[in-house]
Structure 1
Amino acid sequence: MSRPRIGVQLQPQHAPQYRAIRDAVRRCEDLGVDIAFNWDHFFPLYGDRDGPHFECWTMLGAWAEQTSRIEIGALVSCNSYRNPELLADMARTVDHIGGGRLILGVGSGWKHRDYREYGYEFGTAGSRLDDLADALPRIKSRLAQLNPQPTRPLPMMIGGGGERKTLRLVAEHADMWHSFATAEDYPHKAAVLAEHCAAVGRDPGAIEHSAALGGDQTLGTVNELLAEADALTGLGVRLLTIGCTGPDYDLTAAEALCRWRDQQ
């Protein structure tokens, strides 16, 4: 079994100056983190809801230029905010800027304030998933038509755990599946995904399983995180990601996880 990978989601909130985020992604690369993610929102998700916040994809372009080894991506990009063909072109461009290090994370969207204040139709959870189902083949089709082509087949990550629609889309389209399931819930979700994979004739082992550690806000102690990492990797998770917020972007837990990974 391959060695687990470590991701850090540098949440682009509560940093009054972008240089704090620029410094954090550089430190992630220096620590040996495998993937640096941001998120695709327009306002902070916790803390001061009107606090400082920066946009996702322009930031990824800057990260691609700034870094040289670490993979980068959105965890995850909201399908509703961009035409699928445009998203494909943006992803291809960032992929070239970074020399082949982009992960294309996509999800159906959920944050009502983002939709309301930026003028997007919110719809329902079901309609947003239907829109995602329509968009994924369009993204793939546009990627195949672009000149120049991406530097590599872009790994597509789909986030979510909805058992009827989301996991079916993962089985059909994803190279990576990101879940917020706990170690207790994860085996059931993975089994549902395996059923969808069987229905579409796909090996579930071809999909890298990713999970969040410690939730979005309270990471717990380092020892608790390492115990959670042990439990999830024992269940087949190969990418473990922790959240890290501004303004300080404390990477103590990420450093401990990288040391744990290197001992596996």
Structure 2
Amino acid sequence: MELLVMGVLPSGVHPGYAAWHCGAIEMLMVTVAMRNRIGLAWLGIGLFALADFTGSMIHRLTIIDGLAMVLTPLMWVGIANAVSVVLRRCVDQAEVYSSQERESAERLARENARRLAQTEWAKDLERATAPLLKKIASGKLSSGDITECVLLEAELRDQIRGRALATPEVVRAARAARARGARVDIFDDRGADLPPAVREEASAQLITALNDARVGWIKGRALPAGSPTAVTVLAYGDTPDDERFLEIKEP
């Protein structure tokens, strides 16, 4: 456009409206700048300004006339650049605010979930322990009540120390195994949630070992996060045939 129009402009006089191409190129570069192609817009308007000012000198215009042909397009691209920067900053700030809002909402949700879980656990704890605590307070405990106290204490310990491994099914199986005379230890040293597939497999393997146990010792442990092995299950009894050791790897 620049070369074609410059090739037919008169020499020695300011072209006036005949220099319409300046405004057309200006709008093209403003559009490019507003579409966040700032470098490309300045490259284009810079090449235009160089070509147009050189053409004005070749057409024997004064320096003032030559500058008048290019200053307005340069100014408008500068304005478009400034507007684009402001808009981009506004978009960045909006994204930051949205991210902070999401983080705040997630934090509140986690706190509410933790508070709800604590409340429900406290209610379950009260329902489970209140009858036995009343009997202890009254001093009227039978041998069966003492056994029940021991089993309940071990069950609560599993829920506290076992965390991810202490699913309701595992806790029930561990209680039944202790009632048959087996020793059970369940530990969660991971410090993070187990992957669902690992948790399901570990629960199934623990339940199998606990259901098979009559005597001996069953140990389930979730290893710290980052370990090659996620969960280990160890079971042994009076004979070598009762021994079982299983490692569950991270997926």
Using the size of structure 1 for normalisation, the TM-score is: 0.21
| Structure with the higher fraction of residues in strand conformation | 1
Structure label with greater radius of gyration: 2
The structure carrying a bigger helix percent of its residues is 2
State the TM-score, normalizing by the size of structure 2. Answer: 0.22
